[in-house]
Chains A and B, each alone.
Chain A
Amino acid sequence: MSRYANDRSAIAALVRPTEVHRDIYIDEEVFQLEMKHLFANSWVFVGHDSQTPSKGDYFTTEIGTQPVIMVRHTDDQIYVLHNRCPHKGTKIAIDRAGNTGKFFRCPYHAWSFKTDGCLLAIPLRKGYKDTGLEESESVKGMASVGAVKNYRGFVFARLAPEGVSFEDFFGDSLSSIDNMVDRSPVGRLEVAGPPLRYMHRCNWKMLVENQTDTCHPMVAHESSAGTAIKLWEEMDKPEGTKKPMAMEVIAPFMSSYEFFENMGIRTWPNGHGHTGVHHSIHSDYSAVPGYFEQMVEAYGEEKARAILGENRHNTVYFPNIMIKGPIQQLRLFQPISANKTLVESYIYRLVGAPDMLLQRTAMYNRLINAPTSMVGHDDLEMYERAQEGLHSDGLEWVNVQRLYQPGEDFEVEAIENGTTERQMRNQFDAWAKYMTMTMQEAGQ
């Protein structure tokens, strides 16, 4: 029985000002509609252009659940193509990355395509003579996604051919990407190794919401961060021993409610937002020798201080990534089904900056976001319990009410108390907007 397909009102009714219906998390039909509408209408992160540095380099991934290939064409531009042979549907590439030379060749019947997707050749082409092949879908080659934008190395795509522009979709939220890239003295990032890949048996939105949930760290992570602090205090060590890097990374998770309240949350239109407006858990890392001098050399002292003075914690780019500017990390929440999400956590090198920064970033990634990470175990336990608990018929709604103000307008940028759930409400406002913009009313 279809409850939601082609029923714009039914979808819109799942989001109320202070609560959302559980079907948003657990219903497979809603999930399929997210893939068809939300992930087609919004700008979704694909990859970083340093993953395909040379012509012919490609990288395979998914936009929502759509398999795509990101490839660098002979014109040095990044193209994003549907990973499907237009002949029989065979995936053109299945390895995570590689170099295909000047063209893709389907391994099934050797149809070949330029790296911008155009059909190059079909073996024994005379067999299609007078069959009307030139009128077919197949002759167009590998289909491109609707639109592609490479923003300072970060490649985003919109599946739908028509829709909101990249600039209108992200607006001022791009300042977080800018800050992350500006932290390189030469203004460039490079991907550093493969991502951590962590499978979660929960809905993708739980992960996105958690990025700006500042009332869970001191509770859910007491087991890891709290124990770390206790162990460090009890340890027999000489007076003035410097905190190890791991402690600097993990201890701030136990910061007080007051700390998180004062840290602030900013929301932007279209579901984007970030924690850490005034300070964050990344504020008090030790200085890395030589780095500030490099930044002053590159930007001048005033601008260098402004760049490094930003300590944005988590910036959510709706729908499904989060970046940490101060440590050059990006997490991709890849939806697989209503109750399954693959989390890929990437790190980037600040080109021209000391290696010690990348070392801290790599450490952060494995301490917090690995399938072997204690902090990761703390979080996943909560998501999976929630995914199961939502099947209870005792209640059908999930609460997102903290510091709600009647008449909230998400079309306006706002800065609020750091423990507000406004950013979650902002995401759901955008969710309803991008879900329903291409939907019909029931019966039409």
Chain B
Amino acid sequence: MSAPSRDDLIDFIYNEARMLDDSRFDEWLDLWTPDGLYWMPLEYNQQDENLVTSLLHEDFFMMKLRVERFKGERTFSQKPKTRCHHVIQRPFVDKMDADAGEFVTHTAFHYVETRLDDQTLLAANARHDLVLVDGRLKIKRKRVDLLNSDAAFGNIQMFL
């Protein structure tokens, strides 16, 4: 890929959601740059990443740890497995800088997670910072803002 089109960016976001829903986590990890960062703030409009608690603020090692944990024989909170489902709105392309190889999308989505008899519905917005690496789009940063990030939750076990 030389310069991605708007459709390439939008397809990328849809494909990522489908990978998560299909539990293709190793493929999903491959979408990230090695210095990728996944952030899910705790506060509405949170600005500070480090000195205030977040729900998630994880580097590639931690994401990989989650994926490996899902597979573990003694991961009891994944016996039985959680399933998830994303319904995403068509992403906005907020930044398209082909020269710098930097792209930003904004995606509104609903997310459902289910295990045993429980089902949780969350509404969220995702901001993806994408970069071109060796002609492939990669996620450098993903920020997920839950609509009710300050609410009390039970378990949220999968990736939004």
Contacts and interface: CB of A to CB of B under 8 A. Distances in A.
Given A246-B61, A374-B65, A378-B77, A193 B53 contact: yes
A371 B42 CA distance: 11
Interface stretch (A110-118, A219-227, A413-421, A432-440): A219-227
A197 interface: yes
Interface stretch (B2-10, B99-107, B149-157): B149-157
B138 to A, nearest CB: 19
B40 interface: yes
A164 B40 CA distance: 44
Contacts of A228: 65
A224 B51 contact: no
Contacts of B153: 197-199, 371-372
Nearest to A385: B76
A305 to B, nearest CB: 27
Contact of A380 (B43, B48, B52, B155): B155
A370 B53 contact: yes
B54 A224 contact: no
Nearest to B68: A227
A196 B153 CA distance: 9
A440 to B, nearest CB: 36
Nearest to A197: B152
Given A194-B42, A199-B152, A227 B69 contact: yes
B119 to A, nearest CB: 14
B121 to A, nearest CB: 15
Interface residues on B, range: 35 or more
Contacts, number: 115
Interface string B37-49: 0001011000010
A227 B42 CA distance: 26
B76 A372 contact: no
Contact of A366 (B48, B57, B61): B57
Interface stretch (A70-78, A79-87, A137-145, A357-365): A357-365
Contacts of B31: none
A108 to B, nearest CB: 26
Contacts of B74: 222-223, 226
A245 to B, nearest CB: 10
A300 to B, nearest CB: 29
A244 B151 contact: no
B135 interface: no
A373 to B, nearest CB: 8
Interface in A333-358: 342, 345, 347, 349, 355, 358
Contacts of A378: 76-77
B154 A371 contact: yes
Contacts of B15: none
Most central of B64, B69, B153 by chain A CB within 10 Å: B69
Contacts of A371: 55, 152-156
A362 B55 contact: no
A236 to B, nearest CB: 11
Contact of B155 (A347, A359, A377, A382): A377
B51 A223 contact: no
Nearest to A195: B53
A358 to B, nearest CB: 5
A284 interface: no
Contact of A359 (B42, B50, B61): B50
B158 to A, nearest CB: 10
Nearest to A358: B51
B124 interface: no
B120 to A, nearest CB: 10
A188 interface: no
B154 A201 contact: yes
A122 interface: no
Contacts of A362: 50-54
A223 B152 contact: no
B154 A193 contact: no
25 contacts: A194-B42, A194-B150, A197-B152, A198-B153, A199-B153, A201-B154, A226-B72, A227-B65, A227-B68, A227-B72, A228-B65, A230-B68, A231-B61, A244-B61, A246-B59, A359-B50, A362-B53, A366-B57, A370-B54, A371-B153, A371-B155, A377-B77, A377-B157, A380-B154, A381-B76
- Closest A-B pairs by Cβ, 9 of them: A193-B52, A223-B75, A371-B153, A197-B152, A381-B77, A377-B77, A199-B152, A372-B55, A365-B53
Interface of B: 40, 42-43, 48, 50-59, 61-62, 64-66, 68-69, 72, 74-78, 150-157
Given A342-B152, A362-B54, A374-B69, 20 more contacts: A192-B51, A192-B53, A193-B48, A194-B52, A194-B53, A196-B53, A197-B150, A199-B152, A223-B69, A223-B76, A224-B69, A226-B72, A227-B69, A227-B72, A228-B65, A345-B53, A362-B50, A363-B57, A366-B42, A380-B155
